[in-house]
């Protein structure tokens, strides 16, 4: 009986540790754009739009998931739809990648914060860009 309880306790500890690797931690908060000059031979750029990034918070976990909480403003007087192609993350290996698919509607001059996933990568996100 003691052996069974010991194995059950070990199993529960292992499950708890496995779940803790999925918890997101804040990597850093960015209020001003930083200038990084990785080569962009494939000329990957965000889709043109009326959205300006005000700030963002980068998050990750031990599994390698990369997330961002991004605050954007619609610079237009009219309504606009933001989608994943309006944003682009720059990773520490110089690669660029849009977030996973999403859509969000903005009223004219409206500011909203969104949380988006950039998938998994062993390299951290260094910056997030829009066309503005």
Question: In the chain, where are the structural domains located?
Answer: 24-129
CATH 3.30.2000 fits 24-129, yes or no: no
Residue 18 pLDDT exceeds 60: no
Tell me how far apart the alpha carbons of residues 109 and 73 are, in angstroms, rounded to a whole number.
6
Convert the pLDDT of each residue in 22-69 to its tens digit. 899 999 888 776 788 999 999 999 999 999 999 999 999 999 999 999
Convert the pLDDT of each residue in 78-118 to its tens digit. 999 999 999 999 999 999 999 999 999 999 999 999 999 99
């Amino acid at each position: 009986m003691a052996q069974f309880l010991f194995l059950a306790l070990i199993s529960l500890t292992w499950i708890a540790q496995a779940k803790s690797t999925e918890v997101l931690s804040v990597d850093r908060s960015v209020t001003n754009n930083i200038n990084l000059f990785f080569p962009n031979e494939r000329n990957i750029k965000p889709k043109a739009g009326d959205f300006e990034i005000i700030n963002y918070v980068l998050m990750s976990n031990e599994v390698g998931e990369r997330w961002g909480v991004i605050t954007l403003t619609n610079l237009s007087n009219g309504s606009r739809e933001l989608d994943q192609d309006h944003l682009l993350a720059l990773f520490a290996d110089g690669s660029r990648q849009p977030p996973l698919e999403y859509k969000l509607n903005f009223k004219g001059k409206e500011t909203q914060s969104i949380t988006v996933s950039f998938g998994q990568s062993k390299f951290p996100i260094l910056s997030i860009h829009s066309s503005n």
